[in-house]
Amino acid sequence: MSLLDILSTICLIIGTLLMVVAAFGMWRMPDLFIRMSATTKAGTVGLGFLLMALALHFAELGLTTRALAIFVFTLVTAPVSAHMIGRAAYSDGVKLWEGTKVDELRPYYESRKKSKR
């Protein structure tokens, strides 16, 4: 077993564990907004490790370049899309978790509702 195989296996295990953490976050977190935060972070980093394992295992320039492009695209788009989905859900009135202490968006949306009347 070569060093690349060992590194690939380690990256594969770490990536899989992070994906499991993301799935567990979807199941255990109390509201939509916390679920999205946990899933976006753990899923993106988990995908990065899985793609790194792929690149290390095959060790081809073309495949490594594509894996890097996929990771960069996901790293750029996942937080933006999660933010937009969260803002849309908040403006549609999805309830926050009852343990939420600070709601920084409420004054902004209340002032917008008053100005539309």
18 vs 39: CA distance, rounded Å: 9
pLDDT at 104 over 80: no
What sign for the dihedral angle of Cα 90, 91, 93, 99? positive
Do the Cβ atoms of 53 and 11 come closer than 8 Å? yes
- Chain segment 37-59, per-residue pLDDT in tens: 888 989 999 999 999 999 999 99
Q: How far apart are the first and last CA of the chain?
A: 70
Listed residue (21, 78, 15) closest to 49, CA to CA:
15
Listed residue (64, 62, 60, 83) closest to 72, CA to CA:
64
54 vs 3: CA distance, rounded Å: 14
Q: Which residue has the higher pLDDT, 24 or 97?
A: 24
| pLDDT level of residue 94 (50, 70, 90 thresholds) | confident
Q: Looking at residue 116, what is its pLDDT? A: 65
What's the chain's average pLDDT? 88
pLDDT at 2 over 70: yes
- Could you tell me the pTM of the whole model? 0.80
